[in-house]
Amino acid sequence: MSKQAVLKLDDNEFAFPTIEGVEDEKAVDFRSLRSTTGYVAYDEGYGNTGSCQSEITFIDGEAGILRYRGIPIEQLAEQSDFLESSYMILYGDLPSQSQLHEFRSRVRDNAAVSPLMAEALKGFAADAPPMGVLGSMLGALSCYNPELATNDRAVDLENFDQAAAVAIAQTATAAALAFRSSQGKEGNAPDPSLSFGDNFLHLMFSEKGQPYEAIPEVSRALDLMLLLHADHEQNCSTSTVRMVASGGANLFASVAAGSAALWGPAHGGANMAVIKMLEEIRASGDDGSSFIEEAKSGQSGKRLMGFGHRVYKNFDPRAKIIGKACEELLDKMGIDDPCLDIARNLEQAALADDYFVSRNLYPNVDFYSGIVLRALGIPADMFTVMFAIGRMPGWVANWREIAMNPKMKINRPRQIYQGPALRDYVPMESRG
Ligand code: SDX
């Protein structure tokens, strides 16, 4: 028998069962709260609310732990790659040789977007925000692959392998096509001989007669960045994917909604905001110390972007891995990026400053990722797009977890109404 939580309300006592996760996370099961007490639980921002039970990713914010399907992110970063980890995130276990070969081939064979989509991509203004274009394209995948987006769960699940490969592969291709279109350049065709990351760099940067050749350090750094972003439990964008999926919507509609949620500066837009912050500090001639004071005072809404996290109250394990990869990459490439020096100053200062330490504000995944992406030649306005390319496997896996749950109900939170009390309609002639 699970432990019980007893709630005392208006001289009554109500008992609720509890739920324990495999890593000892604990929850009070409030699914009968309203029907037994008439009350709803109020938790603006959902910081204390478990929206689901999931088998995909585990995070321990206090201990700085992140595991995909039980395997620590540090081991995956060292020994796996983006597509192998993506397979495991999607299907639950590390693939056999043949399973991985089949998955890589399926992603590779679905890298080309529909010619109609390629044409549609040319219709955006050159200065269209890349995340706006990406979100439009992800939703449009249901238009170019209607057989994979029927909103009939059984059919959509039957076609899941194909839809997943299309989503993962064509997010990258559409992003590169949009980038080249914004530059007034023709798109490149996917090169099936290249790895996922190298093909993306080829799609982005190859020119006629001058195929882009990635040096091994660049290939490794990009693949690592994508792997580290592949999933992250119930973050804002993934929860959005689950919200949309709970209504029975197809995979493409659900991940399109997730990409919209990722766009904000408090979430996936932070990597771009970090570079903007570092550039502003550099241009001002400040070494970061006066910026830190501004971020602490909250003046003009300034925050130390790339710092803080709703869950991690310790180092984000991804930040440590990216920070190390950043130093190695810039060293190997002989890049002396002054923003890296400023980032180091900010990190050292913040980690010794009680304002940040007392609020458990540590570097998160975004603090160094912008510097790595810039070293790879990715333009800053595409940094959040890179996050979306990396996060796609996690979004797709969460869609599948919802779709495969026969007992899944549509997500429908309640609210506490604080608007005007009952009143009558006032005809126009009687209004003031
Ligand atoms: C991602 O959820 C995920 O898993 C997300 C993600 C993923 O992989 O999907 O990990 C990716 O989104 C990482 C986070 C990227 N965002 C940023 O780096 C933006 C800067 N960070 C903050 O805006 C903030 O830390 C959040 C949004 C990340 C978390 O905010 P919380 O948990 O809601 O914290 P809060 O806003 O309630 O702040 C608590 C206190 C406040 O001060 P007091 O009111 O106590 O005086 O900490 C302060 C805040 O002002 N604070 C900061 C700060 N972050 C919080 N002060 C200065 N700089 C910051 N970055």
- Sequential DSSP letters for 55-95: SSEEEETTTTEEEETTEEHHHHHHH--HHHHHHHHHHSSPP
pLDDT of residue 120: 93
**Please, which residues bridge with residue 14 across strands?**
7
pLDDT classification of 413: cutoffs 50, 70, 90: very high
**Catalytic residue from among 223, 229, 309, 316:** 309
Is 24 assigned a catalytic role?
A: no
Token digits of residue 229: 């972003």
DSSP state of 94: P
Fold of 270-375: Cytochrome p450-Terp; domain 2 (1.10.230)
Per-residue model confidence as pLDDT tens digits over 116-159? 999 999 999 999 999 999 999 999 999 999 999 999 999 999 99
pLDDT of residue 1: 62
Q: What separation in Å is there between the alpha carbon of 282 and the centre of ligand 1?
A: 23
Per-residue pLDDT, averaged over 26-33, amounts to 97
pLDDT of residue 299: 73
**Atom number of ligand 1 nearest to Cα 309:** 28
Choose one of 241, 307, 313 to mutate for the ligand 1 pocket test, by most ligand atoms within 8 angstroms of C-beta. 307
Is 235's C-beta closer than 6 angstroms to any atom of ligand 1?
Answer: yes
Chain-wide mean pLDDT for the chain? 95
Choose one of 297, 310, 347 to mutate for the ligand 1 pocket test, by most ligand atoms within 8 angstroms of C-beta. 310
**What is the residue type of 95?**
P
State the first-to-last Cα distance of the chain, in angstroms, to the nearest integer.
Answer: 63
Residue closest to 340 by CA, chosen among 350, 326, 354: 326
28's enclosing H/E stretch is strand 26-28
Residue 430 CA to its chain's centroid (Å): 52
Q: What separation in Å is there between the alpha carbon of 288 and the centre of ligand 1?
A: 19
Per-domain residue ranges of the chain: 4-65, 73-264+384-403, 270-375
CB 374 within 8 A of CB 337: yes
Which is it for the CA torsion 200, 201, 205, 210, positive or negative?
Answer: negative
What is the distance between the alpha carbons of residues 365 and 73, in angstroms, rounded to a whole number? Answer: 12
Is 303's C-beta closer than 6 angstroms to any atom of ligand 1?
Answer: yes
Is 366 assigned a catalytic role?
A: yes
Burial (Cβ within 10 Å: 0-12, 13-18, ≥19) of residue 325: buried
Q: In degrees, to the nearest 5, what angle opens at C-alpha 326 toward C-alphas 321 and 332?
A: 125
pLDDT of residue 301: 84
CB 277 within 8 A of CB 305: yes
Residue 62 DSSP SS3: coil
What is the distance between the alpha carbons of residues 5 and 15, in angstroms, rounded to a whole number? Answer: 6
Per-residue model confidence as pLDDT tens digits over 170-211? 999 999 999 999 999 999 999 999 999 999 999 999 999 999
Token digits of residue 118: 């390629």
Q: What CATH homologous superfamily does 73-264+384-403 map to?
A: Citrate Synthase, domain 1 (1.10.580.10)
Is 266's C-beta closer than 6 angstroms to any atom of ligand 1?
Answer: yes
What is the distance between the alpha carbons of residues 221 and 377, in angstroms, rounded to a whole number? Answer: 12
Per-residue model confidence as pLDDT tens digits over 72-95? 999 999 999 999 999 999 999 999
Cross-sheet strand order for the sheet of 12-20: 4-9, 12-20, 26-28
Is 346's C-beta closer than 6 angstroms to any atom of ligand 1?
Answer: no
Q: What separation in Å is there between the alpha carbon of 298 and the centre of ligand 1?
A: 13
Choose one of 68, 299, 305, 364 to mutate for the ligand 1 pocket test, by most ligand atoms within 8 angstroms of C-beta. 364
